[in-house]
Chain A
Amino acid sequence: MAEIHAPMSVPLEPQVLDAELVSQTLAGRAEAFGTLVERYDRAVYHLCFRTLHDVEEAKDAAQEAFFKAYRGLGTFRPSAKFSTWIFSIAYHACCDRIARRKRYSDGPLPDRADPTLGPEAIAEHNDEARALRAAIDGLPEKYRTVITLYHLQGHQYEEIARVLDVPLGTVKTHLFRAKELLRRELAGLREQPVSGEVTEE
């Protein structure tokens, strides 16, 4: 099987370990937390955006996640992974926002794309990548979140299970089903270029 790595912007083995940066922050060196923000702000925003589908809400949720992490840094266990911890906080912040949306709105959930496309998005003329994004967006929420975390954390299923607070078996099942749905959707797109909604069997 081919070796798979997490996306380049998510550091796997940074020079200064995250736990060390947390200790330095707790010791009063606030700039160490700035390094953690630099490392994970994009990944956290990615998770929030993929979960919420709204630029402003995703931005707010990402900020909220880091704010909560900063205030609760004393409760962070050194044996845990900072990425898992911050993703977990961000994921729960997103869940709260989704619950609030459902409570206060009877209409369909907003799906506002980023009006200011970044360099990657502009350069993304690759049909495959665009089709994959669209297929992920069409997944049911539970599968979309698992796929997004798999994208961010690679094959660390235990970490994904910790973020979502679900059993490891559930993660594996959801991931397998999500991949099957994606594979079928992409195979269908190759045969017929008109995209359709992904449906769960």
Chain B
Amino acid sequence: MNPHDELDRALFALPLETPPPGLREGILRATIYAQPAAQPALLSLWETVGLGVVLAVASWLALALSTNKVLAWQIGHVFGAFGQALADPGTLAWLAAGAFIALSLSVFNLGLPGPAVRAERS
């Protein structure tokens, strides 16, 4: 006779632990009844508001230009003057100089240590 027969019988007669209330419901909620994860929004709130404003202004402008001839002439005049100013060699030269200075300042750090170096020292 196996010396563990009696122990085996006692072991298999032992009831399983009683699960705490809500275990099964919790499992089912987390699995088959789980809501699919919400899709991330395509645009943030501010982007949506900004886009709405731009669309509203564009719609108003299109409507106003089609109905008001004077307004259309004035806006055309403003854009024409702006285009002429941009086409001027002097304006273009100043714009190029500004862009070059901005680029130079962003590339050269004037000898100041960067954030990584500062972090290492502290």
Give A residues with C-beta under 8 Å from B: 1-2, 4-7, 9-10, 30-31, 33-34, 37-38, 41-43, 45-46, 49-50, 55-56, 58-59, 62-63, 66-67, 70, 114, 116-121, 124, 128-129, 132-133, 147, 150-152, 154, 179, 182-183, 186
Bound-state Cα–Cα, A197 to B27, Å: 36
Point out the residue from B9, B17, B32 that lies within 8 Å of A2, measured CB to CB.
B9
Q: Given contact pairs A5-B12, A66-B27, enumerate 8 new A-B contacts (beta carbons under 8 Å).
A: A1-B2, A31-B32, A41-B27, A43-B16, A46-B17, A116-B20, A129-B13, A151-B11
Contact B31 A37 (CB under 8 A): yes
Query: How many B residues, CB 8 Å from partner?
Result: 28
Quick one: which of B10, B17, B23, B28 contacts A34, CB cutoff 8 A?
B28
Taking a contact as CB atoms under 8 Å apart, the answer to whether B17 and A114 are in contact is yes
- The answer to whether B12 touches A4, judged by C-beta atoms less than 8 angstroms apart, is yes
Residues on B facing A (Cβ under 8 Å): 1-5, 7-21, 23-24, 26-28, 30-32
> Is the CB–CB distance between B19 and A59 below 8 Å?
yes
Q: Judge whether B19 and A37 touch: CB under 8 Å.
A: no
